[in-house]
Amino acid sequence: MPRLNVEFVDEISADVEARMREDLVRYERSCGVDVNYKRFALILRDENEEAIGILNAFTAFSEIYIDDMWVETSRRGKGYGRKLIDALVEHFESKGFNNINLCTSAFSAPEFYKKCGFTLEFVRENTCNPKLTKFFFVRFFANQTQNQGIV
What's 67's domain CATH number? Answer: 3.40.630.30
Mean pLDDT of the chain: 95
Average pLDDT for 46-57: 97
Is residue 66 in some structural domain?
yes
Q: Provide the number of structural domains found in the chain.
A: 1
Is residue 2 in some structural domain?
no
Cβ–Cβ under 8 Å, residues 38 and 49: no
- Calpha distance 14→90 (Å, rounded): 33
Confidence of residue 27 (pLDDT cuts 50, 70, 90): very high
The end-to-end CA distance of the chain, in Å, is 36
Confidence of residue 143 (pLDDT cuts 50, 70, 90): confident
Cβ–Cβ under 8 Å, residues 117 and 28: no
- Calpha distance 92→148 (Å, rounded): 11
DSSP 41-61: EEEEE-TT--EEEEEEEEEET
Is residue 125 in some structural domain?
yes
Q: Which residues pair with 22 in a beta bridge?
A: none
Is residue 145 in some structural domain?
no
* Domain ranges, residue 51: 35-140
Is residue 124 in some structural domain?
yes
Cβ–Cβ under 8 Å, residues 65 and 58: yes
Of all residues in the chain, what percent carry a pLDDT higher than 70?
A: 100
What does the pLDDT look like over 66-93, one tens digit per residue? 999 999 999 999 999 999 999 999 999 9
3-state helix, strand, coil in the chain (%, to 5): 30, 30, 40
- Calpha distance 141→96 (Å, rounded): 9
- Calpha distance 75→80 (Å, rounded): 7
Is residue 121 in some structural domain?
yes
